[in-house]
Amino acid sequence: MRRAAIVGGKRVPFARSFTQYMGVSNHDLALGAVRPLIEAYGLQGKTLGEVVMGAVIKHSSDWNFTREVVLDSGLSWNTPAYDVVQACGTSLEAAIAVGNKIQLGQIDVAIAGGVDTNSDLPFVFSREFAHIMLAANREKTFAGKMKQFLKLRPHDLKPHMPGVVEPQTGLSMGQSCEKMVKEWNITREEQDELALESQKKAAKAWAEGWYDDLVVPYNGLSKDNNVRADTSMEKMAKLPPAFDKKSGKGTLTAANSSALSDGAAAVLMASEEWAKANQLPVLAYLTHCETAAVEFKQAEGLLMAPAHAVPRMLEKAKLKLQDFDYYEIHEAFAGQVLCTLKAWESNEFCQKRLGLSNALGKIDRSKMNVKGGSVALGHPFAATGARIVAGLAKMLDQKGKGRGLISICTGGGMGVTAILEK
């Protein structure tokens, strides 16, 4: 098969929700990333193999979301498009879908990406309200419509705000991660230390200008506004628990958890032949991928699926966990990263739950999230995968060789993982 090349990526600055992008739609945020990508690589008016994007939280009017983005992007209207959604792994899954088609020869070039905003949430009314409105719409006369409207009760008019909770457990992701860190005996100090590393690395990368060619100013914002260069262990220690507030044993805080964020990211992928013919660079190749899911009500922690996906991917790639120059492990929570690392170091977990003969072992933490992770940069759910793919490809290109591992946990007890190589 052909190789799937990463040519480049663009994203808007990630913003804390309810700040800079208040009221900006998914559609407009996505264009903030896609249009600069098209302009950077001279794609205006061209027909691509396809564009694949997604958003975790969408309005009902976003039923044809990615196609509408394409129609307003400057690409030829002959470019097909479709949506994918796999929670926080959405845009990495989009890149995998694109990469597979490129390798199979179905398409030559495509854009993969994702977007999410909590600052333009779709509020909905009760199902009873919706059913009454539908019944009224079917009536042919004014009297008939009024008869239906009179069935409304005050409680029917109370809007419902979308909530990020698991329908199977009724727990938020943070509450679920609190259960995980207690199971794996992860301390708050360990979580704060990882969060501090993330902030310091992100601040250093921004100060050095490393993000300048990846991030495009948008809506008055020129850099991620969640990065805290001046934070410290002392400042973090003063924050109260964010999810387990009553037991006295809560360890997840606003400082060691990724903040609700708004943003969009996109990557351009192509065959080697297409990139060469269009005189465009190849930063890295998407070579392997794996997704996994776990039973998270009783058997496993909600965010532990990457711990299962990575070893399966390593086996197929004939690689060890230590055979990487960079590790991009999505920091939904610092505690989640630490649980995953501890699981890979555990003989009991690897033998009993993964069916391996021995533990996968430790990684060199200095190679992990070297330009900052989601705790510092922010986590617009569907945009994180594309952010990571573009950044990791750039790091491998600058190094001139090497291999990087991507691991993303998602809602619903799933994990999406991939390997990039130069």
* Average pLDDT taken over every residue of the chain: 96
Residue 409, beta-bridge partner list: 415
Fold assignment, 173-209+287-421: Peroxisomal Thiolase; Chain A, domain 1 (3.40.47)
Reported confidence tier of residue 332, pLDDT bands at 50, 70, 90: very high
Q: Is the pTM of this model over 0.85?
A: yes
Fold assignment, 4-122+261-284: Peroxisomal Thiolase; Chain A, domain 1 (3.40.47)
| pLDDT tens, position by position, 16-58 | 999 999 999 999 999 999 999 999 999 999 999 999 999 999 9
**pLDDT for res 265:** 99
Reported confidence tier of residue 214, pLDDT bands at 50, 70, 90: very high
**Would you state the structure tokens that stand for residue 231, as one six-digit string?**
């934070």
Which residues have a Cβ under 8 Å from the Cβ of 105 and sit 6 or more positions away?
Answer: 1, 2, 271
88, 177, 289, 339: the catalytic one is 88
Mean of pLDDT values over 372-394 = 98
User: How many Å apart are CA 225 and CA 12, to the nearest integer?
Assistant: 11
Which residue spans of the chain are classified as CATH 3.40.47.10? 4-122+261-284, 173-209+287-421
Three-state DSSP class for residue 341: helix
**pLDDT for res 318:** 98
Helix (H) / strand (E) containing 313 = helix 305-317
**254 close to 375: Cβ distance less than 8 angstroms:** no
**pLDDT for res 287:** 98
pLDDT at position 164 over 80? no
177, 339, 350, 409: the catalytic one is 409
User: How many Å apart are CA 330 and CA 181, to the nearest integer?
Assistant: 16
**pLDDT for res 145:** 93
| pLDDT tens, position by position, 86-127 | 999 999 999 999 999 999 999 999 999 999 999 998 888 888
Residue 191 half-sphere exposure, CB side, CA atoms within 13 Å? 31
288, 308, 330, 379: the catalytic one is 379
409 in catalytic set: yes
